[in-house]
Amino acid sequence: MPVAGLRRAVRETVSGLPPAFWWLWTSTLVNRLGAFVSTFLVLYLTAERGYSAAYAGLVVSLYGLGGVVSSLGGGVMADRLGRRPTLLIAQGSTAVSVAVLGFVQHPVAIAAVACLVGMATNASRPAVQAMMADIVRPEDRIRAFSLNYWAINLGFAISSAAAGFIAAYSYLALFLIEGAMTLACAIVIFVKLPESRPERTAAVDTAEAEVSLWTVLRDGRFMSMVVLAFVIALIFMQGMVGLPLGMGADGYSSSDYGLVMAVNGVLIVTLQIPVTRFIEHRDPRRLLIVSALLAGYGFGLTAFAGSLGLYVLTVVVWTLAEIVNAPTQTGLVVRLSPVHGRGRYQGMYTLTWSVATLLAPLVAGFIIDGYGAEWLWALCAVLGTAAGAGYWALMRNLPEAGGAAGSEPVAGAGAPAVTVAGAGSLAESVEGAGAGVLAGPVADAVPRPELLKGAESREDAAR
């Protein structure tokens, strides 16, 4: 592409987004640049502290369990307290708990603090997604979510490389630097980001009382989407769980797996923005169906991978699915969410990745040990097909963008002020939407540290 064309493409990609979005984007990048601990937690516990693999697996499981609990709690806080207070509490708690984790030595204390770290880390995600939906215009949301996902993966790629060098010097430095970077993220939010939660009126307060977690659970269309999102998350998690186990069974080394997975990171950083420009104004229904099929059959093709090159090819296929699915799926969550329930709805969506992170190792270990890796890849193909069919059935009567609940930006954080509808319209919005880390032992119960790489970025796709 000529230099002039490249400049024009970059300008069109970043233009039109409010300043508040870019401060939120900056806070995400800073946060992910310091995401060391989750990646190297197993190595720290086994190589540095001398604990057993079984104990390390337990600690990582508790870390994931904390994330499951806070997925819903963070969403409720984002709606009740506001996006900004929730982010400040979550980031401040993460900074403190991560630093403490570097100093505690008793096994019970380490396990308890690791659970708190997982809880604090995950609590911010529903608030980030809700704030992004608040401050960005409906027509720009796919682009905004994609740029945020790109920042997550760029930051994680850099932090993963840097963490290896830092760990060689001092594991304690990993904990302290992550705490400092998370605190810097909180400072950016405190100084630069105003509250974005929609303005409240007496009528809205009355309506908001109706938007509870029970409301989300009774929202048939949204919960159907949550189930499909969980299926997709379970498929993608096999890149961190099933793939290294399958490659190991075929005689490949951990460095071979690292090389194959590096393709995933490079493609996301390189293609996320241009692919988003291609899909930005296309029908999300078709995009989700196509991404589900690409994910399922991308992993399904792994059954036929007889060389390192073929493994790379399969990664290319399901990485394209990931690039398309992540921003499109998050945008759909916003379209199906009532304005004053965005936090709770995003929390429920975040929960899909947390639960998938817990269950994926168990599923992969059980199938590979009992039946062989080929059956795992066949199951991925079946799940991808089922998810594609599910998206087709779910979205046949999907409201057009702009008419769904929560499609309008609200006052604050750089977005133009709008009038928020009263109780009646909110109830109609809910009705329209509804009627409209790793956990557990894998294989031989030995957690593989390389499995943790990228798990945080997948959750943030959200995650």
What is the reported pLDDT for 176? Answer: 93
At a CB cut-off of 8 Å and minimum separation 6, what does 150 contact? 268, 269, 272, 273
Cα 357-123-201 angle, rounded to 5 deg: 135
Distance from C-alpha of 396 to C-alpha of 129, rounded to nearest angstrom: 25
Residue in the block written with tokens 């994330």: 67
Closest CA to 90 of 132, 122, 130: 122
Cα-based distances in Å from 431 to 72, 392, 436? 21, 20, 6
Distance from C-alpha of 463 to C-alpha of 458, rounded to nearest angstrom: 6
Cα 278-322-17 angle, rounded to 5 deg: 50
Structure confidence by residue, pLDDT tens digits, 313-372? 999 999 999 999 988 888 888 888 888 888 889 889 988 988 888 888 888 888 888 888
Highest mean pLDDT pick, 14-23, 284-293, 449-458: 284-293
More confident residue, 78 or 426: 78
448: its two tokens: 């593989």
Tally Cβ neighbours within 10 Å of residue 287: 20
Do 272 and 150 meet the contact criterion of CB atoms below 8 Å apart?
Answer: yes
Q: pLDDT-derived band of residue 438, with 50, 70 and 90 as boundaries?
A: very low
Q: pLDDT-derived band of residue 410, with 50, 70 and 90 as boundaries?
A: very low
What is the reported pLDDT for 239? Answer: 87
Taking the CA of residue 308 as centre, how many other CA atoms within 13 Å lie in the half-sphere pointing to its CB? 13
What is the reported pLDDT for 452? Answer: 37
Q: pLDDT-derived band of residue 156, with 50, 70 and 90 as boundaries?
A: confident
Arithmetic mean of pLDDT over the chain: 79
Cα 379-56-450 angle, rounded to 5 deg: 55
More confident residue, 145 or 228: 228
Do 318 and 262 meet the contact criterion of CB atoms below 8 Å apart?
Answer: no
Mean pLDDT of 89-100: 94
225: its two tokens: 């989407």
List, in sequence order, the alpha helices (H) in 170-238: 171-192, 202-208, 213-218, 220-236
- The lowest-confidence range among 35-39, 124-128, 289-293, 343-347 is 35-39
At a CB cut-off of 8 Å and minimum separation 6, what does 74 contact? 86, 90, 122, 123, 124, 125, 126, 127, 343, 347, 350
Q: pLDDT-derived band of residue 417, with 50, 70 and 90 as boundaries?
A: very low
Q: pLDDT-derived band of residue 272, with 50, 70 and 90 as boundaries?
A: confident
Distance from C-alpha of 80 to C-alpha of 153, rounded to nearest angstrom: 30
Do 379 and 367 meet the contact criterion of CB atoms below 8 Å apart?
Answer: yes
Mean pLDDT of 195-222: 73
Closest CA to 79 of 207, 192, 187, 263: 207
What is the reported pLDDT for 227? Answer: 94
At a CB cut-off of 8 Å and minimum separation 6, what does 389 contact? none
Q: Is 53 exposed, middle or buried (0-12, 13-18, 19+ CB in 10 A)?
A: middle
At a CB cut-off of 8 Å and minimum separation 6, what does 173 contact? 166
Mean pLDDT of 196-206: 65
